[in-house]
Amino acid sequence: MNKPIQRSRKRSTASGRNVTIKDLAAELNVSITTISRALNGYTDVGEKTREKVVETARRLGYTPNRNAQRLVTQRSHSIGWVQSDDDNKFVDPHFVEVMAGVLREARKDHYDIVMTSENPQRQLATYERYVHDGSVDGFIVDLPRPDDPRITFLLEAGVPFVVHGREARSERYGWVDVDNYGNFYNLTKLILANGHKRFAFINGDEQFLYATTRRQAVYDALRDLGHSPDAVMYLEGTHPMVEAGYQLTELALAEPSITAFLYSSILLATEGLAAISRAGRVPGRDVMVASMNDELQYLNLGPLEGQITYVRSSLRTAGSALVAEVIRQCERKQISGTLVPSVFDLGDGVDGESIAGDVELVGA
Amino acid sequence: MNKPIQRSRKRSTASGRNVTIKDLAAELNVSITTISRALNGYTDVGEKTREKVVETARRLGYTPNRNAQRLVTQRSHSIGWVQSDDDNKFVDPHFVEVMAGVLREARKDHYDIVMTSENPQRQLATYERYVHDGSVDGFIVDLPRPDDPRITFLLEAGVPFVVHGREARSERYGWVDVDNYGNFYNLTKLILANGHKRFAFINGDEQFLYATTRRQAVYDALRDLGHSPDAVMYLEGTHPMVEAGYQLTELALAEPSITAFLYSSILLATEGLAAISRAGRVPGRDVMVASMNDELQYLNLGPLEGQITYVRSSLRTAGSALVAEVIRQCERKQISGTLVPSVFDLGDGVDGESIAGDVELVGA
DNA sequence: GCTTGCTTCCAAAACGTTTTGGCTTAGAAT
DNA sequence: ATTCTAAGCCAAAACGTTTTGGAAGCAAGC
């Protein structure tokens, strides 16, 4: 009898067998080769036959079995996106925005996105398994940290992947990023140009690179424009961000010398605005508020119109670019970096030009 | 030469061939049958052989090819989750919370989640294709509407699926839901019990069923407790929710008879609180604020402590239950519904008991 | 000695495709 | 008349597993 220890098996669909390439071949009295080649656009099948084939394929509701295709072609047409199961970290509203772009682009190119979450210690094993077992052709890597072990692993495994953000080795892999440095450099310049002598900078979690880069940009701008580093009160908000926005702003409000607020995320900024209002200060008149705006679709900035100056950059666009890049790699093994565009929107009473961030394409 | 019209092909991994079951068989001089059975826990392989097999499998870094397994077993061990590409609708922070639970549970059961987005008109075709081509074994269906065509389709296709929410046919499919009716009935009772004669109810978009059910519950409670339907000012916020929270609250604040606010989502509520504060009213003293709290991890309710009365229910738990249910169906074709638990948290100055919602398991 | 039963193994078929390396046939070129 | 070319088709191998239906060997029971 040879029973398995623990498995049980059953067909997945309630209805009977799906129609296969063999059924088509039988129906038309041609070989399965001809069916396959007709459907895949090869030139060695006669026009009449091809027409008959596609017609009956449609009529019988034929859909090629994806797993058979994957097995023989050794390509899954799927890309993997593994999330950190690190409780709060992964549940970030920014993430959904990126995902919207990722899904849309993937659909357009007929790729699937396969997702899992895994705690950081076991993540490498997950990447390894996914690529060994043929589940995916490449990966999206999110929120890179300095010397990110995931990147190290993927680089030496020689697997296609794209990183949302950059670290030291960014020459060697494909990436998509916003111009963190340029944007925060310019925002700082803008604040100073508007006559503010001291401001608070409420940054994101510095364990992620985007935050480090932004801090660097702010201090560089201060130095280049001849201001002391003391002109900024630097505050770091850890994930999840929202609580930090309110509390850190309250902290900064205690110092009267501070007349401007710079936020690393619009999420921090909206909370900050609440704190500012509650303290009886009015943004745009008493204080200047500047921020990075990632265009979170669910956040309506209407009520805040004019109260806030920001650099706008679409995370959704970044998401699309991510999968475009990783697919490009899967299909012809060349890597490139993409800087997503940024545009400035000035709040009321703020002087300056609406500098548009560069759109750059590194590599080819 | 027979060239294809448009394809190009390449191996996915840069490194050479992966190690297969044949390599193991060759290494150990046994048949591939034995390898397979040893690795899959069948009783008809000797203990010594089994040990040798698992040892060399580990040593050689063998990972079974997922696509071959899927092809022969006709099971993908993946479950599909198709998002509406309807621009704003899908980008809802609630979604991320559900997803955290979905991914965690899927990982635990060794299932993959494959996601796509598709505009509503073409969604049915996507479900059809996914199930025909063997990509997935079942589906998660989100945000059902009345007579949802997706449910109609999946029911008659006989495909395993689970719905987050319920509509008329909920006897016939697996679902996971929060007790929308009970919770909003109780919240209304609580508001009235605290002496409020008139309140605003800011609901979610009624094109989704959870919102309709909640409205029904509120009006039923009013009727049952002998109040006129006019005791509520009913406002419907469409997606995305956040803007609605602020604006609709402002609208309701204009009517002085209104002394309490009931929100369908904590997202609406936090915006509402901002509007209330800005209007110079203080929540917990001048007005009562009640809400459903879906435990969005990125939202910190600390600063609002005591200002708000809510029913708490974990969307993450719901997410886990969703995949547990759909996997159960895939593996033994029985369907059941699950009500996720809810618990009440009373705000300062609010009288009432902390009613705990029922935990129910319908079906088997 | 012969059957029976148990344990351990295995050859071969199957899953549904793609691709290779032909093989016909018909017409054009010699 | 023969050879060449091109167009249209196909048999068979391959992808990497799982599963079926035994077979071989050996001990126990009669």
Q: What is the pLDDT of residues A208-246, one digit of tens each?
A: 889 999 999 999 999 999 999 999 999 987 755 556 788
- Is pLDDT of A39 > 80? yes
- Name the closest residue on chain A to residue B133, using Cα atoms: A65
Beta bridge partners of B345: B310
CA gap A37, A42 in Å, rounded:
5
Which residues in B258-275 are b (16+ Cβ under 10 Å) and which e?
bbbbbbbbbbbbbbbbbb
CA gap B175, B163 in Å, rounded:
5
Mean residue pLDDT of chain A comes to: 85
What would the mean pLDDT of A8-17 be, rounded to a whole number?
A: 43
Query: Cβ of A298 and B241 within 8 Å?
Result: yes
Residue partners of A324: CB distance under 8 A and separation at least 6: A105, A109
- Is pLDDT of A361 > 70? no
End-to-end Cα separation, chain A, in angstroms:
60
Cite residues whose beta carbon is less than 7 Å from strand C.
A 2, 17-18, 20-22, 32-33, 36-37, 39-40, 44, 62-65, 68-69, 71-73; B 2, 4, 7, 9, 29-34, 37, 43-49, 68, 71-72, 74
- Within 10 Å of residue A82's Cβ, how many Cβ atoms? 24
Residue partners of B60: CB distance under 8 A and separation at least 6: B19, B23, B24, B27
Q: Which of A297, A305, A323 to mutate to test the interface with B (most CBs of B within 10 A)?
A: A297
* Whether the Cβ atoms of residue B60 and residue B35 lie closer than 8 Å to each other: no
Using CA atoms, how far residue B9 sits from A138, B239, B271, in Å, is 15, 43, 52
E strands in A40-94 = 78-84
Place of tokens 């397979």: B36
Using CA atoms, how far residue B130 sits from B99, B133, B143, in Å, is 20, 5, 20
Q: pLDDT tens, B179-198?
A: 999 999 999 998 998 889 99
Query: Cβ of A243 and B90 within 8 Å?
Result: no
Query: Cβ of A88 and B297 within 8 Å?
Result: yes
Helix locations, chain B, DSSP H: 21-28, 32-39, 47-60, 66-73, 93-108, 120-132, 149-157, 180-193, 209-224, 241-253, 266-278, 315-332
* Long-range contacts formed by A28-32: CB under 8 A, 24+ apart: A28/A52, A28/A53, A28/A56
* Whether the Cβ atoms of residue A207 and residue A170 lie closer than 8 Å to each other: no
Q: Which of A115, A316, A331 to mutate to test the interface with B (most CBs of B within 10 A)?
A: A115
- Is pLDDT of A8 > 70? no
Query: Cβ of A71 and B65 within 8 Å?
Result: yes
Place of tokens 């119109």: A305
Query: How many Cα atoms are found within 13 Å in the side-chain-facing hemisphere of B255?
Result: 18
Q: pLDDT tens, B78-116?
A: 999 999 877 655 557 788 889 999 999 999 999 999 999
Minimal Cα–Cα distance from A36 to chain B, Å? 11
- Is pLDDT of A175 > 80? yes
- Is pLDDT of A360 > 50? no
Pairing of strands A199-203, A260-263: parallel
Q: pLDDT tens, A189-207?
A: 989 988 899 999 999 888 8
- Residue B133: nearest nucleotide (C-alpha to C1'): C16
The amino acid at residue B190 is L
CA gap B242, B137 in Å, rounded:
36
- Is pLDDT of A316 > 70? yes
Which regions of chain B are under pLDDT 70? Answer: 1-16, 87-91, 239-243, 298, 300, 302-303, 348-349, 351-364
Pairing of strands B309-312, B288-293: parallel
CA gap B185, A65 in Å, rounded:
49
- Is pLDDT of A24 > 70? yes
What would the mean pLDDT of A281-296 be, rounded to a whole number?
A: 87
Pairing of strands A232-236, A260-263: unpaired
Dihedral (CA of B191, B196, B200, B206) sign: positive
CA gap A343, A35 in Å, rounded:
51
Distance of alpha carbon A144 from its chain centroid, rounded?
Answer: 11
Q: At what angle do helices A21-28 and A32-39 cross, to 10 degrees?
A: 110
Q: What percent of chain A has pLDDT over 90?
A: 51
Return the DSSP state at A148: -
Residue partners of A332: CB distance under 8 A and separation at least 6: B8, B10
Distance of alpha carbon B68 from its chain centroid, rounded?
Answer: 31
* Whether the Cβ atoms of residue B167 and residue B146 lie closer than 8 Å to each other: yes
What would the mean pLDDT of A340-357 be, rounded to a whole number?
A: 68
Q: At what angle do helices A93-108 and B93-108 cross, to 10 degrees?
A: 70
Dihedral (CA of A166, A170, A175, A181) sign: positive
